[in-house]
Amino acid sequence: MLNYFSSTEIKTGILGGGQLGKMLLDVARRYDLFTRVLDPSADAPCKFGCKEFVQGSFNDYDTVMAFGRDCDILTIEIESVNTQALKDLEKQGKKVFPQPAIVELIQNKVTQKQFYTDHQLPTAPWFGFRNKAEMMKLINKHSFHLPFVWKAATGGYDGRGVSVIRNMNDLEKLPDVPGLIEELASIEHEVALVAARNEQGEIRAFPPVEMSFHPEANLVEYVYCPASLSEVKLSEASNIALSLVDRLGIVGVLAVEMFVNHDGQIWINECAPRVHNSGHLTIEACITSQFEQHLRAILGLPLGSPEQIRPAVMVNLTGEEGFSGPVVYEGAEKMLETQGAYMHLYGKTETRPHRKMGHVTITADTLDQARENAMKVKEILKVKSE
Ligand code: ADP
């Protein structure tokens, strides 16, 4: 077993150098790990927090192979990576967590949904197709009722690659790509749960959080914990997410997004084999953060307690509409007068409308208080350009 806590340099490589990597690095520095990060952007958020920064594409086979050769253990902070290279590095004896086969399964929304169906995990009724012509045939065959949801198999994130089809004309605008059609959920709550599993098979779950979305941008605007669901529903959602972790046998954290429908049914929407926006508040609200938990899981260390210490709300700081260019955080000083507000700026130099630039977690004695302060933070702090 590798001993990370000795003077021998054991190198942990991270594919992706964005904000998720930056927050992983905060913990890696505390543990004094030797970290290497691969990202195509010369001024990626991770550039200054790691020991070695390598500029290059995590989608390119040769680049990932060359990067991985000089690492002992590899992980990801983004799932659109070259999984063939990760599989080959795994064959060469490198530790790669999450396992590349799981990343590959999740990269494609069709294979991901198939996994839920094969394992009797609840999800919206659906069918997959290879192209538009096949989709049209299957819509008629399955007699799907309008409105329904179209999703591209690959390439979509943060709501891109997802369309609600309200009439048959909407189908014409869709690109001719493989994807799936699924039933429109009648959503009462959107919840997410981050859980971790280490190599030894130990599993720990954070409390489920509730998410609310920006109506136009399809991006998470607020995350609340505890979620406003009954104990029964919370434990049902947790059990579903935990069975997914167990069936995948993932090593690392898994974020599971779920719909709680008006009729009480819970459906898995999708999952991500990495630290996730819905788990950011664990940094201040829980005994162990999702970032520390992920590192513990992939390094084969004992998992920490996911217990929540304080009610919390997280607000994403996204670029205001109408502003593009070098970023200014208007009202940041004023916002810091809010007690219990923890500001995280990701270090991206340029803002664009709806780009994730940072987040603020607000903790308080009660969720109502945290929610009230979160609304104030949102009012005061604006991401604009110079
Ligand atoms: P992405 O991978 O881009 O995040 P998602 O599949 O999570 O895309 O969809 C984005 C959002 O669209 C979801 O959070 C949810 O609000 C809405 N959505 C997705 N699928 C459905 C569905 N079957 N029914 C209702 N709303 C949905």
Task: Provide the pLDDT confidence category of residue 94 given band limits of 50, 70 and 90.
Answer: very high
Question: Does the structure show a pLDDT above 70 at 71?
Answer: yes
Distance (Å) from CA 1 to ligand 1 centroid: 41
5 found inside a domain: no
Q: How far is the CA of 11 from the centre of ligand 1 (A)?
A: 37
What is the average per-residue pLDDT within 288-305?
97
CA of 159 to the centre of ligand 1 (A): 6
Contact of 165 with 146, CB cutoff 8 Å:
yes
For residue 224, the SS3 value is strand
Tell whether the model's pLDDT for residue 305 goes beyond 80: yes
In this prediction, residue 251 carries a pLDDT of: 98
Do residue 242 and residue 179 come from a single domain? no
In this structure, what CATH number is given to the domain that contains residue 33?
Answer: 3.40.50.20
Pairing status of strand 187-197 against strand 203-205: antiparallel
Mean local confidence (pLDDT), 61-67:
98
User: Is 13's pLDDT higher than 80?
Assistant: yes
Say if 115 falls within a structural domain: no
Max Cα–Cα distance, the chain, nearest Å:
64
Owning domain of residue 57: 11-96
Last residue within a domain, chosen from 163, 183, 203: 183
| Range name among 156-160, 182-186, 312-316 with the lowest pLDDT average | 156-160
Residue nearest to atom 4 of ligand 1 (CA): 158
**Where a domain ends, among 144, 159, 183?**
183
Q: What is the mean pLDDT of residues 326-349?
A: 97
- Ligand 1 centroid to 93 CA: how many Å? 37
Question: Ligand 1 mean position to 269 CA, how many Å?
Answer: 7
Q: Are residues 379 and 282 in the same domain?
A: yes
Query: What per-residue confidence (pLDDT) applies to 140?
Result: 83
Q: Using 50, 70 and 90 to split pLDDT, how confident is the model at 57?
A: very high
Q: Given a cut of 90, is residue 24 above it in pLDDT?
A: yes
Mean pLDDT for the chain? 95
Atom of ligand 1 nearest to the CA of 151: 6
> What average pLDDT score do residues 149-159 get?
82
- Determine, yes or no, domain membership for 355: yes
Residues 196 and 331 in one domain: yes
On whether both 283 and 166 belong to a single domain, the answer is no
Determine the distance separating the centroid of ligand 1 and the alpha carbon of 75, expressed in angstroms: 26
Whether 164 and 199 share a structural domain: no
Does residue 174 lie within any of the structural domains? yes
Within this chain, do residues 280 and 160 fall inside the same structural domain, yes or no? no
Residue 118 lies in a domain: no
The string of pLDDT tens digits covering residues 214-256 is: 777 777 889 999 999 999 999 999 999 999 999 999 999 999 9
The model's pTM is: 0.96
CA 100, CA 372: separation in Å to the nearest integer? 42
pLDDT of residue 145: 83
Does one domain contain both 16 and 31? yes
Mutate to test the pocket of ligand 1, among 107, 269, 270, 274 (most ligand atoms within 8 A of CB): 269
Q: What is the pLDDT of residue 253?
A: 98
Which ligand 1 atom sits closest to the C-alpha of 159?
3
Judge if 164 and 239 occupy the same domain.
no
Q: Which one-letter DSSP state was computed for residue 36?
A: E
pLDDT in tens, 180-215: 999 999 999 999 999 999 999 999 999 999 999 877
Please report whether residue 359 resides in a domain: yes
The H or E element that residue 368 is part of is: helix 367-380
Do residue 277 and residue 348 come from a single domain?
Answer: yes
CATH number at residue 305: 3.30.470.20
Question: Are 139 and 44 part of one and the same domain?
Answer: no
Q: Which of 183, 198, 228 is the C-terminal boundary of a domain?
A: 183
Say whether pLDDT at 142 is over 90. Answer: no
159 pLDDT band, cuts 50/70/90, is low
Question: Which pLDDT score is estimated for 157?
Answer: 60
382-385: strand order across its sheet:
350-351, 325-330, 382-385
**Residue 154 belongs to a domain with what CATH number?**
3.30.1490.20
Residue nearest (by alpha carbon) to ligand 1 atom 9:
159
Are 228 and 179 part of one and the same domain? no
Q: Report how far ligand 1's centroid is from the alpha carbon of 190 (Å).
A: 10
Query: How many domains does one find in the chain?
Result: 3
- Together in a domain, 135 and 207: no
- The residue ranking higher by pLDDT, 196 or 140, is 196
Supply φ then ψ for residue 258, to 5 degrees: -135, 155
CA atoms of 278 and 73, how far apart (whole Å): 25
Residues with CB under 6 A from ligand 1: 124, 149, 151, 156-162, 182, 184-185, 187, 190, 213, 218, 257, 269-270
